[in-house]
Every structure is written in C-alpha cells, then in structure tokens.
Amino acid sequence: MNPSRKELKNTVFQYAGLGLEMGISVGVGLLFGRYLDNRFHTAPIFFIVGFVIGLCAAAKVLIVTARKAITGAGGNGSAQPKEY
C-alpha cells in the first residue's frame, strides 16, 4: 500500500471514530437521562438534561480533534499548522 493511500485510510478511520465517539456521547446522555426520568418520575427533565450533556461532550470531542488537526499531533499548541 503506497503512503498516500495508507494516510487516507488512517484519516478515514480517524473521522469514523470521531463520529462514533460523538454518537456514543449523545446516546449515553439520552439513556442515562431516560433512566433518571423513569426512576424519579420527572419526564422529560433528565432526558433533556442528558441530551444537552451528551451534546456538550460531543462538542468537546470535536474541538479536541480539530485542535489536534490544526496544530499537529503534538497537541501542545507549539507546532505550526499543517500545510494542505
């Protein structure tokens, strides 16, 4: 496999993992909120709160990944942005 194809494959898997992570974040928030609503009979308060917390977690994952993509794999912010 040539290097550009391997790099493309790694990029695809990285972003597929990002989507999966974001979906799991929102899903866990929704499920936990639903569980709390059923336990305390407060529907839909905790469901909505769980959804918002899940969205915040997904946004954090997206921001961290975007920062890594901009600054390089070092993650310390001192690297120069990648040239495309």
**Mean pLDDT across the chain, nearest whole number?**
87
Q: CB of 37 within 8 A of CB of 45?
A: yes
Tell me what pLDDT residue 75 has.
Answer: 52
Written as six digits, the tokens of 76 are 């310390």
In percent, the amount of the chain with pLDDT more than 70 equals 85
Tell me what pLDDT residue 61 has.
Answer: 93
Give, to the nearest 10 degrees, the angle between helix 3-40 and helix 45-71.
Answer: 160
Q: What's the whole-model pTM score?
A: 0.76
Q: Is the pLDDT of residue 46 over 70?
A: yes
Tell me what pLDDT residue 72 has.
Answer: 77
Tell me what pLDDT residue 80 has.
Answer: 57
